[in-house]
Structure formats: C-alpha cells, structure tokens
Structure 1
Amino acid sequence: MGIFSRMTDIINSNLTALLDKAEDPQKMIRMMIQEMEETLVEVRSSSARVIADRKTTGRRVDRMRQESLEWEKKAMLAIGKGREDLARAALNEKQQIEREIDLVDEELAALDDHLNHLNEEVGQLQTKLTDAKAKQKAMLMRQSTVESRLRVKRQNSKSTLDNAVDKFERFERRMDSLEGQIESMDVGTESSTDLKSQIDALENDDKISDELARLKEKMTKVD
C-alpha cells in the first residue's frame, strides 16, 4: 500500500467504529497508533524533500529572471548603438528564457499545491493520532478502574465469607460452652437422686402401712 493511500485510509477511518468491531480493541489501537506514527514520519520526510525541491527550483527561476533582465539590457544597448540585429538576437534569447520561466513557474505551482495537500493531510492525520492516543489512554484508565473494582469486590466477597465463617464458629463455640455448663450442673446428681428416691419410697411405704393399720383398727371397733 502506498504512503498516500494508507494515509487517506487512516484519515477517513472512524476510530470508534473500528474499535467497536475489534476482538481486541487495545491491540488494534496500538497497531493503529504505530501505523499513524510511521506514516507521519514518511509524510514529513516526503514534505522535507518537496520543500528542498521547492527551494532549489525557486533559486533556479530567480537566476533565470535575472538572466532575462540581462538580455533585455543587452537588447537596449544594441538598439542604442544602432545594432537592431543584435537587439533582435538578445530579445530572442530573452523570450526563450521566459518560456522556460513559465514552465518552471508551473512546476513551482505544482510543488506548492503538493505541499499544501501534504500539510492538510498531515494535520488531519495528527488529529487522528491525538484522538487515538486519547482513546488509548481512556481505555487504559477504564481497564485499570475495572480491575481495581474487581479486586475490591473479590476482597469484599472474601471478607464477607470469612466474617460469616467466623460468626458461625463463634456461635458453635458459644453453644458448646452452654452445653458444657448444663452438663456440668448434672455431674454427680444422678446417683444422689436415685438414693433419695429410694429413701422417700421407704418413708412413703411406712406411712401407707401406718394408715392401713389405723383403718383396720377402726373397722374392728365398729364390729
């Protein structure tokens, strides 16, 4: 692809549309920036050569105009000396030089148009390059922000999970402690309870026997 064709494609391209279609926008924008920078270097090198040619051609046409003036002076001198033949010859030389000057002027005009075109396209390309770098910077900042948010979210999720686990473990320890307290209160009470029950049963049996004897005695007296 020629330098001017590539530069035109870049200038006419819609950066946003291209990046939206790209599978890897960051990679694509890096490539675009690199290509734009390389194109700018080539265009500026071409501009430098055209400027050098313009200066050389300008000096050449200046010398030719000076030479044309010299032939005109010679023609005037010949006329003053009555040498019309020499005057005609001098004017002929002057006309030939002026025809060359016309051609060189056309060449200068073409060089000027070329330079103006290059300057215009370089300006547009520089604008595109600035835009691309701004988009690259925005993408990098966006990526950094997303990564930071993701890290914070992961940290928060881990922290929430750790807190939940800690709370559960504290609850388990508390329940273990309460159960331990309850069980400690029952330590040694089971055997004493059984013994007390047996003694109470004996006392109760004695009361029943006494009550039974009283009723029998009462019934005997009635008979």
Structure 2
Amino acid sequence: MAGLLGRLTATIKAKLSRLLDTFEDPRETLDYSYKRQLELQADVKKGIASVITARKRLELQKSKLEAGIQRLNEQAREAVAAGRDDLASIALQRKMDMMAQVDSLTAQIEDLKRQEDKLADTARKLDAKIELFRAEKETIKAQYTAAEAKVKITEATTGIGEEMADVGYAVQRARDKTEEMQARSEALDTMVEQGTIEDVLGNKDLVEKELTKIKNEAAVKRELETLKQEVGR
C-alpha cells in the first residue's frame, strides 16, 4: 500500500511539474524575483534610517547631558567660592550621575554606529547584487523572447504549430467542400443533359417547348399528307 501511495504521489508531482512548466513564463518569474529583491533593498534602507534616527536621538540626549555637566561644574565652583561646600558636593554628585549616563549613551551610540556601518555595507553589497541580477534578468528575458519568436516562426513556416495545424485543417476542409461542390455540379450537368431533370435556367421555358412540339407535330402531319398524295393514296 505504501509503495502504491509513493508511486501515486510521484506521478501527481510529475504531472503538476509539467503543468507548471506549461504555464510558467520565466520572464514573469524573473521580474517577480527582482521585485522581491527591491523590496528587501528598501527594507534594509529603512533599517539603516531607523538606526541613524536612534543614534541621532542618543547623540542629542548626550549633548544635553554634557551641557548639564558643564553647568554643574560652574555651580560647584560658585558654591565653593561662596563657602557652601554642601551645595558644591550636591552639584558634583549630580555631575557624577550625569557622567555615568554619558558613558552609557556613548557606548550605545558606538554600538548603533557599528550596526549602521554593517547595514550600510550590507546595503552596498545588496545594491551590487541587485544590479547584477537586473542585468542578467534582462539578458535572459531578451534571449527567451528571441527564442520564443524563433519557435513561433519555425512552427508557422513548417506547419507544426497549433495555429498552423488549425489553418491546415481549415484549408483541407475547404478543399473537401470545393471538391464536393464540383462533383455535385458535374452530376447535375449530366442529369440535365440526359433529361433526368429540367434545366430551369435553359434558353427555353416549358411553354415555348410545348409550342415547338405542337408546331413540329403539325409539320409532320403536313409532310405525311403530301407523301400520301404523291404515292396516290
């Protein structure tokens, strides 16, 4: 049973493969693949833009912290000058906290920059690959179109194509019909000559034929009477 199912599955796959080969246009397949690559290219560029946006946002936040650190330094100096070491200590503690945040942001920014560089390198490689694929795609499409045209021309000139087969069938049918009509025409001519049927298109109509017949009969009677008189009857 398993062997039978295996053979049946293989047969179905083979038939489906042949069916797909029949309807598949490689030019459409290539165009679809190219479209998918362009979509991937757009996604990579969107990813790069997102990374750059995130990095810029962190850099802006880092700049604000660095400005805050500068202000705290000035406040601590002013507090010391005023004899307020307690205020100076608070300012310096805040400064330390901000510096820690700056260090963290610096590490994140550097990590984003590395990601950005990798994505940019990937995008460049992808651009080159897509351009190469596009050129090869157009070449293959041109070759397929030329081969397809050659096949159609060859089929048309040799009569092996499906359309030419239909034309050949139509020509043969026309010949058969013509020969049949010619045979009927010859048969009708023969029947008219033999008197089997009346030639309604002839030069004499039925009335004229009957009048001619009467005249002929009268002439025959006259000649017969003349002969009788000559022989003394």
TM-score, scaled relative to structure 2: 0.52
After TM superposition, give the deviation of residue 148 of structure 1 in Å: 4.4
**Alignment correspondent of 1:62:** 63
Residue 88 (str. 1) matches residue 89 (str. 2): yes
- How large is the Cα RMSD of the aligned pairs? 2.2
Residue 99 (str. 1) matches residue 106 (str. 2): no
Residue 126 (str. 1) matches residue 127 (str. 2): yes
After TM superposition, give the deviation of residue 39 of structure 1 in Å: 1.1
After TM superposition, give the deviation of residue 131 of structure 1 in Å: 1.1
Which whole-Å CA distance do the structure 2 matches of 1:59 and 1:99 have between them? Answer: 16
Decide which structure has the larger Cα Rg and report it. Answer: 1
Q: Percent identity?
A: 18
Checking the alignment, whether the CA contact within 8 Å between 1:29 and 1:132 is kept in structure 2 is: no
1:137-193 CA distance string (max 9 Å, x none):
1012212332444456567768xxxxxxxxxxxxxxxxxxxxxxxxxxxxxxxxxxx
Q: Counterparts in 2 of 1:40-189, with a 5 A limit? A: 40-150=41-151
Which whole-Å CA distance do the structure 1 matches of 2:56 and 2:84 have between them? Answer: 39
Which whole-Å CA distance do the structure 1 matches of 2:111 and 2:59 have between them? Answer: 12
> Which segments of 5 or more consecutive residues in structure 1 lack a partner in the other structure?
1-22, 159-223
Which whole-Å CA distance do the structure 1 matches of 2:157 and 2:30 have between them? Answer: 34
Which whole-Å CA distance do the structure 1 matches of 2:124 and 2:70 have between them? Answer: 41
Partner letter of residue 119 of structure 1?
A: A
1:36-74 CA distance string (max 9 Å, x none):
111112222222222221221111110000000100111
Which whole-Å CA distance do the structure 2 matches of 1:93 and 1:157 have between them? Answer: 93
> Which segments of 5 or more consecutive residues in structure 2 lack a partner in the other structure?
1-20, 160-233
1:71-127 CA distance string (max 9 Å, x none):
011111112122222222211110100000011111111111111111111111111
Which whole-Å CA distance do the structure 2 matches of 1:35 and 1:153 have between them? Answer: 36
Q: Name the CA shift for 1:32/1:151 in 2 (closer, same or farther; >3 Å).
A: closer
Which whole-Å CA distance do the structure 2 matches of 1:50 and 1:156 have between them? Answer: 62
Which whole-Å CA distance do the structure 2 matches of 1:107 and 1:26 have between them? Answer: 46
Which whole-Å CA distance do the structure 1 matches of 2:120 and 2:145 have between them? Answer: 37
Tell me the SS of whatever aligns to 2:83: coil
